[in-house]
């Protein structure tokens, strides 16, 4: 009836509005991220390392961390995007590499455990990652493998930058220890899946461990704020990362939404 049509039209209009807001937030994050890189590493082209996927395939607009790399590329300032394959589900290899190639970025794919040698060789100017959740103290939960990059970046004096919208900040979660990390099936580790995600049990994967081998497979890890150079949001960047700074950004975002 007319009521159903009106409800459907209202839902569609709201969805389109949210899509526009996401795209605008992505553009602002890219602008703030580029400005931060210029501030930290003035007058040079960058070799950037990223982990997991933070582009248009998983986020609004052109993404979060990937949107920064894309903007830098369009400015002619990207020497290379280093793409972690992101084991065990290979989001970097399957998604980020695809988006980098599609947009004409100079990129190279690497196994996650090869990142250390890149830092040691001086081939990483900055690390850019996204976030699945940011706690009130600035601790960042992201795809497993992010925390080791933060430790490497700290040792090698390389900026470690998290790019995420303020909606990722959970002020009800006080700190990193309060974030519950999902433990996923060990089968993702003991078998190599096909591009369509079919495991050996389903006839499409390769078994790489003894039958019944136990596996540790957390979906995320948590990086403490002291290892993070800056958090970039659509409301600006904060550095150093503090709970007060995060709360101010979120308050600014809420005011914008209300207005």
134 & 18 share domain: yes
At 120, which CATH number? 3.40.50.10470
Q: What pLDDT was estimated at residue 4?
A: 85
How many Å apart are CA 131 and CA 220, to the nearest integer? 10
69 & 30 share domain: yes
- Whether pTM > 0.75 for this model: the answer is yes
Residue 157: pLDDT above 90?
yes
16-69 pLDDT per residue, tens: 887 788 889 999 999 999 999 999 999 999 999 999 999 999 887 999 999 999
Question: Taking all residues of the chain, what is their mean pLDDT, rounded to a whole number?
Answer: 92
Q: What pLDDT was estimated at residue 15?
A: 82
H helices of the chain, in order, are 2-40, 65-74, 91, 97-102, 115-120, 146-155, 187-190, 243-258
151 & 61 share domain: yes
239 & 162 share domain: yes
191-239 pLDDT per residue, tens: 987 655 444 444 457 999 999 999 999 999 999 999 999 999 999 999 9
Q: What pLDDT was estimated at residue 198?
A: 45
211 & 253 share domain: no
57-82 pLDDT per residue, tens: 988 799 999 999 999 999 999 999 99
Q: Which residues are catalytic?
A: 132
204 & 106 share domain: no
42 & 110 share domain: yes
99 & 204 share domain: no
Structure tokens at 134: 């940011």
Residue 194 sits in which domain range?
188-217
206 & 222 share domain: no
Q: What pLDDT was estimated at residue 194?
A: 62
Domain count, the chain: 2
- φ and ψ at 233, to 5 degrees? -125, 180
Q: Are 93 and 83 in contact (CB under 8 A)?
A: yes
79 & 199 share domain: no
């Amino acid at each position: 009836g007319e009521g159903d049509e009106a409800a459907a039209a209202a839902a569609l209009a709201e969805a389109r509005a949210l899509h526009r807001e996401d795209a605008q937030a992505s553009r602002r994050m890219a602008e703030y991220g580029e400005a931060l890189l210029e501030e930290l590493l003035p007058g040079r082209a960058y070799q950037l390392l990223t982990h997991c996927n933070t582009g248009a395939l998983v986020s609004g607009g052109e993404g979060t961390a990937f949107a920064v790399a894309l903007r830098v590329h369009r400015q002619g300032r990207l020497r290379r995007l280093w793409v972690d394959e992101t084991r065990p589900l290979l989001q970097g290899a399957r998604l980020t590499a695809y988006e980098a190639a599609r947009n004409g970025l100079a990129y190279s794919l690497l196994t996650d455990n090869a990142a250390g040698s890149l830092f040691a060789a001086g081939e990483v100017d900055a690390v850019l990652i996204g976030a699945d959740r940011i706690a009130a103290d600035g601790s960042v939960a992201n795809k497993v493998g992010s925390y080791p990059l933060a430790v490497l970046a700290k040792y090698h004096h390389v900026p470690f930058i998290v790019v995420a919208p303020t909606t990722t900040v959970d002020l009800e979660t006080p700190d990193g220890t309060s974030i519950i990390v999902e433990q996923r099936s060990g089968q993702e580790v003991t078998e190599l899946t096909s591009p369509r995600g079919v495991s050996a049990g389903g006839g499409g994967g390769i078994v790489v461990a003894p039958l019944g081998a136990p596996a540790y497979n957390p979906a995320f890890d948590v990086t403490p704020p002291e290892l993070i150079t800056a958090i970039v949001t659509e409301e600006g960047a904060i550095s150093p990362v503090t709970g007060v700074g995060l709360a101010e950004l979120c308050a600014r975002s809420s005011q914008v939404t209300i207005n």
